[in-house]
Structure 1
């Protein structure tokens, strides 16, 4: 179903055929081209539920709703229990991937409600988000990381990026004010008060032992995630948000916009919202449940960005950073929650992830299967997106383990497309998608369930940086992995001074 503007893009017939490919599940069309006319054979009830206007608010990795019907959850409960599932306390993995170090959560981040979130990198330091603030780690010796400092500043989910001496932190919960001592409010409490704050916080990190909070910028519906787009004299922040409420005048559905913050590099305290482009202006599109975006990845080298929006995967021209233009958009009836997007290095393929279950659901099991809660790989020819295949880890997880596709990054091997990815309590997976129709896993690591109560845990973000893989485990702390495999050996020669995964560098 071809879709330019709001016309449907046709999908290949016969896509509901699963193939086990060298330890990774890849779903591809059999005997037809992905460009052929046809229909997907299966409509996802989760897609319908998550597209519902009342259900979408609070989904995603806010862990408030999980986009699964009660009957689906009951079916999962009955089906999970295979002997192959790792018990609590156990670990397993491929011999080429080893856990080199783990630093448990500490201080105000030690409790189970303080969830570790995203990562950013600069020089010999890693900046790790947490729902209670952020930590700074020295990784000069990756096998012995050292905690440099922690900043207590609650504000779900504290998505994090760095740029020079600046650190940016997303706040996606309604707060009493913009301070680091603020309290969380429900939408009803915020409406009753008549005032609240959520948006972007900016810190000066010139002294890493004492980061300084210097500026806040309020944005409509807060900031669930954000993406840096470098300019000549400014850095622009694309703010993705979607948690709407009819109770709040500045956060009404459909909220089909992103906020773009202009941060002048010579005066970051004058940062302000410079544009609020509506990405989905067609009223007919509102029935799709787009309602803003969850995450956007910019690829400045190509002047493009890929977005995972509520009901759509999109590609945008960002040559003019304040005026992004959608070039193409697609929908997938097997997707419940478009979560993130990553280009390959050549910009000819894009991995979109589906966070079925909102990050809290046990979706890595035979009941859910290899298609839902997976990656969808699309090819991009500069004009249109075409479906190539699905990829999902093949290891069955317990019904106490939240497991679904989550944050990952390219491993910079010239001439190859290799991705390392977090799967929450499904662990981490490394796969080659150089052939986008046949993604193949060749390394993995997994832990047994965190506890019997189903506490949210697992790898939130897992990224490759300057020779090692770093992972922020929601409960267990900061992990460092050593991947030794001839397929990724050339990546050792690629070094970055700064790395924000949602601002893709070219290699």
Structure 2
């Protein structure tokens, strides 16, 4: 869990013995229920994917696809600030997907009708209201109609929007240089496409019924990205989800098919991609995966929300869970549909097919044991950056009471490391480190100070 600034007092370091372990928890905070449609027993439509946002005052918002559009919920008082009207025709399960880029929200749908296409919403006017910017429903760069899409992904590091093409035969590439007027720059053609993920314009595509995933280089030739690798999954089901670790060394996939495991792939060499680990929860049917640090947060249908420790990719271990669908644990498309774990305040949002939005709080407890023959205060502190908000450059203060190894890093809102400000040994003292954001897009970032078992974070707002 990312925490706000605090100082830690430790016992002395003479004759020091240390043993460290952690326990993880998903604690319920609240449940909101939106309308749903029950077609038959075990066949319900009400909620689709979810995302999150934090406004400039630090308020958290859960964002969820519902029957008639997209609901934006302020977490501290559970108020539905707005429902963005969306299309409702031709898809009985009301698939909607969404992500943010800075203060902008992008929404896609598989339905047609009101506001069909990619919706652009300005969230900077929260906490009181939102501003509807535009809807994009023109044809893509390949000339294909683009009024519907199953999935989208925003690569914050490069300002690119990737959407699955209407007929699931590839991916559409749009530049967000002007966030209110995305421009088509190219397409990727694949035999099938369900979900897309991008890390610094290296694009990963879950290829659905093709039983494979592919990797593309869109760094230079965005008009026509080049294929780096395609991996067929042995006895694969419907390849649904792809997501990498923050360091880009591992890829995690999920197949939306009963009794098909989530798989962890070593992708350090695109010419020799190897599956190194796999895991599956009790319902035997996984859906969406988001990776934060060394933890995979999974919406696992009737098993609910689960957290899997992938710090050892060969031996993934479930470390926390919260059952959002207590009626059964059968391998069915009920229960947890989407999950969002990136709130800086530790919230986790889970959207459910039945129309429920579960707001949870992720909690990490240290089980460390400290013993020493001497006791004297040892302090390490990460201060708030200044200025904040900032444009281009900000200063981050660090204070330590004795010499130690420290690492000061910057992460974006997805938990991806974007900069290492300092990594090394520091003598006791007070320090101020400057971070220049360079070409980083506007948005929320986190400075994280780590040393031994200590991790502290502060939130920073970058405005261009």
TM-score, structure 2 as length reference = 0.62
| 1:471 CA displacement | 1.2
CA offset at residue 230 of structure 1?
A: 4.3
SS in 1 for 2:45: coil
Report whether the alignment pairs 1:157 with 2:157: no
* The structure with more radius of gyration: 2
Match of 1:97 among 22, 26, 30: 26
- Conserved in 2, the CA contact under 8 Å of 1:200 and 1:218? no
Q: In structure 2, what is the equivalent of residue 127 of structure 1?
A: 63
Q: Look up the match of 2:262.
A: 375
Residue of structure 1 equivalent to 2:196: 296
Tell me, in whole angstroms, the C-alpha distance in 2 between the residues paired with 1:128 and 1:348: 30
How far apart are 1:275 and its partner, in Å?
A: 1.5
2:216 corresponds to 1:348: no
Partner of 1:228: 154
- Report what 1:218 is aligned to: 138
Q: CA, structure 1 residues 97+126, in 2 after alignment: closer, same or farther (shift >3 Å)?
A: closer
Shift of the 263–453 alpha-carbon distance from structure 1 to 2, 3 Å rule, reads: same
Give the gaps of 5 or more residues in structure 1.
Answer: 1-93, 181-197, 245-254, 281-289, 357-362, 398-402
- What SS class does the counterpart of residue 117 from structure 2 fall into? strand
Conserved in 2, the CA contact under 8 Å of 1:458 and 1:474? yes
> How many residues were matched structurally?
332
Task: Kindly provide the CA deviation profile for residues 199-219 of structure 1, in whole angstroms up to 9, marking residues without a partner as x.
Answer: 322233343424315232334
Is the 8 Å Cα contact of residues 168 and 202 (structure 1) preserved in structure 2? yes
- In structure 1, what is the Cα distance between the partners aligned to 2:300 and 2:267? 25
What is the distance in 2 between the residues matched to 1:411 and 1:118? 16
Measure the CA separation in 1 of the matches of 2:84 and 2:410: 25
Report the Cα offset of residue 147 of structure 1: 2.1
2:443 corresponding residue in structure 1: none
Question: Would you tell me which structure has more strand in proportion to its own residues?
Answer: 2
The Cα RMSD (Å) is 3.6
Distance (Å, rounded) in 1 between the aligned partners of 2:188 and 2:198: 16
Where does residue 378 of structure 2 map in the other structure? none
State the secondary structure of the residue aligned to 2:237: coil
Superposed counterparts of 1:394-433, under 5 Å: 395=282, 397=283, 404-412=285-293, 417-433=294-310
The counterpart of 1:241, out of the listed 165, 173, 186, is: 165
- 1:55 corresponds in structure 2 to none
1:387 counterpart residue number: 275
Question: CA 1:455–1:449 in structure 2 vs 1: closer, same or farther (change >3 Å)?
Answer: farther
Equivalents in 2 of 1:453, 1:392: separation in Å? 13
Q: If each structure's helix is expressed as a fraction of its own residues, which one has the higher value? A: 1
Contact 2:287 2:298 in 1 (8 A): yes
C-alpha distance in 1 between matches for 2:287 and 2:331: 18
Query: Offset at 1:379?
Result: 0.6
Instruction: Name the SS of the counterpart of 1:486 in structure 2.
Output: strand
* Consecutive aligned runs of 4 or more in structure 1 exceeding 6 Å deviation: 451-455, 492-498
CA distance in 1, matches of 2:243, 2:359: 22
2:188 to 246, 258, 277: 277
Cα contact 1:353–1:406 (8 A) shared by 2:
yes
State whether residues 422 and 428 of structure 1, in contact with CA within 8 Å, keep that contact through their aligned partners in structure 2.
yes
Residue 231 of structure 1: CA displacement? Answer: 7.1
Asked if the contact 2:285–2:332 (Cα under 8 Å) also holds between the matched residues in 1, the reply is no
Query: Does residue 315 of structure 2 align to residue 438 of structure 1?
Result: yes
Q: Supply the distance in 1 between the matched residues of 2:109 and 2:155 (Cα, whole angstroms).
A: 19
Distance 1:456 1:382, change over 3 A: closer
Counterpart residue number, 1:318:
218
Post-superposition Cα deviations, 1:28-59, rounded to whole Å, max 9, x if no partner, equal xxxxxxxxxxxxxxxxxxxxxxxxxxxxxxxx
Does the 8 Å CA contact 2:244/2:251 hold for their aligned counterparts? yes
Q: Distance in 2 between matches of 1:488 and 1:225?
A: 40
